[in-house]
């Protein structure tokens, strides 16, 4: 029996995924097609592109899985109207801000609000919002709304972590999900065993370390929900003595309960009211260090406690807070943890895959003829482009002053340029899905090229000066450059590692410049033969089995998707070399 499922995340970083007989065919975020970073709303363009890339029609879809059950009152209108409706005054926005005021000013509200929300929204608000959403979805996609199912948000995270992990059918897995909120929860603990997931703990929303981290990000003048990684990047620069001074003021704001849930001093949506007192007159780096330290300690305590209580040592994780690669590193180092898998790009964009997994697996319980879900292997789920399309774009008059060469062995050609410390943008094969560039839409250079780091920051990316780059390392050479005693795989840039002495020397431009940690992409030949060959050719020339890799985009824009996108960045930056499949474009 054939089964095709369309998974949809219609909130932050809206995304569409197609699953056929348990295998991901395509997965694309709307932002890559609209140019609006973290685009929210129904991902109509992504749905169309996913179907096209999979050579399917809308009529081929058997079921549709949305990654939420209860639409939050504010995001519901965003889902229906997209980003263009964000600044309009609606019933939804009035209710939302009234609720926020009550939670911020009347403390007991935090205890009664979840109950009121569940009753009021479930019976009076959500049905209307969902019906409007379904009508819009059916009209835009030509897929019957009768095929739609709504999946609990944290179930979507849990199913992505479990069924996306290697060899999930062998033994038990401890499943942790953690984010700001979704379907009235912010964290869950589950056990996966024999392809069945059983939840054993749920933390109600309003008790999230993710909320606190986001508000600290905003307090420091950055964009909450997007720039938390900048706070994490700054944290190692702080002096531990001054970090601890700030940490002592906030350490009691969140804790782990014996029942494996989190507790917080106040409803976490109003943590912002507490920040000024402990942070006043404190330096940017000390605040960053304190919130990162608190996050690492709370998350490791939670993981340690759950492993001890459940006796399950193989841990899989998902949810936006697990994008914190330094906290993930600490979890992986716990003696109680035997193995760790963090689902790639595990923010809400990944729930499109998780929701599809959920619906597929529910059907598989009743139809044993359906194949087992295949774990993720590589993330190259986006569009690819033919030579004809690339040549058509290059033929445009505005590019006539660029030099264009067709290179027979492009991997060898790029390796030579990088060995000479040139900076090369690489556009090749199918686009990678997710927040990390994994070689096919990447800017590459020599991993010892510190001057190149400055050039990339100033002429191309406009990055904050303290932010580290990342290395792409041949899988067979990982042990030379990073310390990984448990052999925890790292193909998706969701884990940090400490570096060896050789790593500190050979990868010095591609690691954190203060604590020398790395967030590498472990490049496996079976995931990306062309990229693996490129790095291997570079190793022949330099003796280094790694390159510096950063995402191919301008600051504030999504990673490029099309040849047109790539040429736009090339034209509007200091890039000198652009590879479009087998064509080398230079200024």
Q: pLDDT digit string (tens) for 14-29?
A: 999 999 999 999 999 9
Mean per-residue pLDDT for 268-280? Answer: 91
Confidence of residue 104 (pLDDT cuts 50, 70, 90): low
Q: Rounded to whole angstroms, how far apart are CA atoms 499 and 505?
A: 9
pTM of the model: 0.92
The two tokens of residue 54 are 């999979």
pLDDT over threshold 90, residue 551: yes
Give the pLDDT confidence score for residue 267 in this predicted structure.
Answer: 85
Confidence of residue 153 (pLDDT cuts 50, 70, 90): very high
* 112 or 295, which is more confident: 295
What backbone torsions phi and psi does residue 460 show, to the nearest 5 degrees? -125, -60
- Alpha helices in 106-239, H assignment, sequence order: 109-120, 126-141, 153-163, 209-219, 228-234
Give the pLDDT confidence score for residue 96 in this predicted structure.
Answer: 60
- Kindly list the distances between the CA atom of residue 437 and the CA atoms of 168, 206, 428, 470, 560, in Å, as whole numbers in the listed order: 26, 33, 12, 10, 10
364-378 pLDDT, tens digit each: 998 989 999 999 999
pLDDT averaged over every residue in the chain: 92
Domains within the chain, CATH numbers bracketed:
4-155+351-366 (3.30.420.40), 167-342 (3.30.420.40), 387-586 (3.90.870.20)
Q: Report the DSSP pairing between strands 185-193 and 196-204.
A: antiparallel
Give 292-333 as a 3 state SS string: HHHHHHHHHHHHHHHHHHHCCCEEEEECHHHHCHHHHHHHHH
Confidence of residue 91 (pLDDT cuts 50, 70, 90): low
Mean per-residue pLDDT for 102-108? Answer: 60
488-532 pLDDT, tens digit each: 999 999 999 999 999 999 999 999 999 999 999 999 999 999 999
pLDDT over threshold 60, residue 213: yes
Mean per-residue pLDDT for 63-88? Answer: 62
């Amino acid at each position: 029996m054939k089964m095709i499922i369309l998974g949809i995340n219609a909130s932050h970083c809206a995304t569409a995924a197609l699953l056929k007989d348990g295998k991901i065919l395509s997965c694309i975020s709307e932002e890559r097609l609209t140019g609006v970073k973290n685009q929210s709303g129904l991902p109509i363009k992504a749905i169309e592109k996913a179907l096209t890339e999979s050579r399917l029609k809308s009529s081929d879809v058997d079921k549709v899985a949305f990654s939420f059950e209860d639409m939050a009152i504010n995001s519901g209108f965003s889902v229906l109207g997209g980003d263009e409706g964000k600044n309009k005054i609606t019933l939804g926005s009035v209710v939302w801000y009234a609720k926020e005021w009550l939670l911020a000013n009347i403390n007991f509200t935090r205890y009664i609000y979840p109950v009121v929300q569940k009753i009021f929204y479930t019976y009076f608000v959500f049905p209307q919002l969902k019906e409007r959403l379904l009508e819009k979805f059916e009209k835009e996609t030509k897929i019957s709304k009768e095929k739609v199912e709504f999946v609990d948000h944290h179930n979507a995270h849990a199913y992505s972590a479990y069924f996306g992990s290697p060899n999930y059918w062998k033994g038990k897995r401890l499943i942790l999900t953690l984010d700001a909120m979704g379907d009235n929860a912010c964290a869950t603990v589950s056990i996966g065993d024999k392809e069945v997931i059983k939840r054993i703990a749920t933390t109600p929303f309003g008790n999230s370390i993710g909320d606190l981290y986001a508000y600290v990000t905003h307090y420091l003048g950055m964009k909450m929900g997007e720039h938390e990684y900048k706070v994490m990047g700054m944290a190692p620069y702080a002096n531990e003595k001054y970090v601890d001074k700030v940490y002592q003021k906030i350490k009691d704001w969140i804790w782990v309960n014996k029942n494996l849930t989190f507790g917080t001093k106040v409803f976490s949506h109003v943590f912002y009211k507490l920040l000024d007192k402990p942070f006043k007159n404190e330096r940017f780096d000390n605040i960053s260090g304190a919130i990162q330290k608190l996050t690492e300690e709370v998350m490791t305590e939670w993981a340690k406690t759950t492993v001890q209580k459940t006796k399950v040592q193989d841990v899989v994780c998902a949810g936006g807070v697990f994008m914190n690669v330094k906290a993930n590193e600490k979890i992986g180092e716990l003696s109680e943890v035997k193995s760790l898998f963090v689902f790639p790009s595990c923010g809400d964009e990944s729930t499109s895959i998780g929701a599809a997994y959920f619906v597929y697996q529910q059907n598989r319980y009743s139809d044993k003829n359906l194949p087992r879900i295949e774990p993720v292997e590589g993330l190259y789920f986006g569009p690819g482009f033919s030579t004809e399309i690339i040549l058509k774009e290059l033929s445009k008059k505005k590019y006539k002053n660029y030099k264009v060469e067709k290179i027979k062995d492009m991997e060898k050609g790029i390796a030579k340029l990088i060995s000479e410390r040139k900076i090369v943008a690489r556009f090749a094969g199918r686009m990678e899905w997710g927040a990390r560039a994994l070689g096919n839409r990447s800017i590459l250079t020599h991993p010892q090229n510190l001057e190149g780091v400055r050039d990339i920051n100033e002429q191309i990316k406009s990055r904050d000066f303290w932010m580290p780059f990342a290395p792409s390392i041949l899988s067979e050479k990982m042990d030379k450059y990073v310390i990984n005693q448990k052999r925890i795989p790292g193909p998706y840039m969701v884990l940090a590692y400490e570096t060896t002495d050789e790593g500190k020397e050979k990868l010095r431009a591609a690691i954190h410049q203060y604590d020398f940690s790395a967030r590498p992409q472990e490049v496996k030949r079976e995931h990306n033969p062309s990229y693996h060959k490129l790095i291997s050719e570079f190793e022949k020339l330099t003796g280094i089995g790694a390159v510096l890799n950063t995402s191919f985009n301008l600051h504030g824009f999504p990673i490029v998707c099309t040849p047109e996108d790539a040429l736009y960045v090339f034209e509007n930056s200091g890039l000198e070399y652009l590879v479009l499949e087998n064509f080398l474009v230079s200024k």
